Amino acid sequence: MKLRSLFPLVALLAVTSPLFAGPPWLSIELPPNPFDAASRGAFLLVHAFHHAGDGHDPVSGRAVGVVEGQRREVKLTFQRTSRPGVYSLRNQWGDRGEWTLVISNQQADHGDGNTAEVMVKVSGTRVIGVEAATGKSTHAELPLVPRRFTDGEVEASLRGRAATD
């Protein structure tokens, strides 16, 4: 008798678990608030989300660029702010050239959807585009799932821009 009463609860948890155990997600805040001491001087802010709340796993990233015809890559470092799940990024790649910033948040408990990535396209000192890497989800409650950008997508983001520096 007790097992029969547990079955509906287990079935409900199985159906609704994607809502409560969703994959990581990133969003970019541009421009950062210059009146907030934690973000003053930052190029942009990264908001990391996991499940229904703020993500506490650190973000990582790289800047891939072309400056005066030379290919460059810089590992990015992020600083925590006073807000949970919010990280500031200062310009570590310089003010010249064409750059693609690839920002990641990886969490071990999500299988194929364990990494959220955002691509920020930068020309000189200006952001000219932001794009999230997503794929179709198999869950009706989650229309998109995060994924990694391919090397080809990162290269394509620079193609055609490198000649303008």
Q: How far is CA 46 from CA 14, 19, 129, in A?
A: 32, 23, 15
Closest by CA to 137, choosing from 103, 102, 104, 110, is 110
Measured CA to CA, the distance from residue 84 to residue 23 in angstroms comes to 17
Instruction: Please check whether residue 78 is in contact with residue 47, taking contact to mean a CB–CB distance below 8 angstroms.
Output: no
pLDDT digits (tens, 9 = 90+) for 17-64: 444 456 788 889 999 988 888 888 999 999 988 765 555 667 999 999
* pLDDT value for 17: 40
From the CA atom positions of the chain, what is the Rg in Å? 19
Kindly state the average pLDDT of the residues 66-78.
Answer: 94
**CA atoms of 124 and 110, how far apart (whole Å):** 36
Q: Which structure tokens are listed for 133?
A: 């890497």
Mean pLDDT of the chain: 79
- The domain spans of the chain are 21-164
Q: What is the pLDDT of residues 119-159, one digit of tens each?
A: 999 999 999 999 887 777 666 566 677 778 889 999 999 98
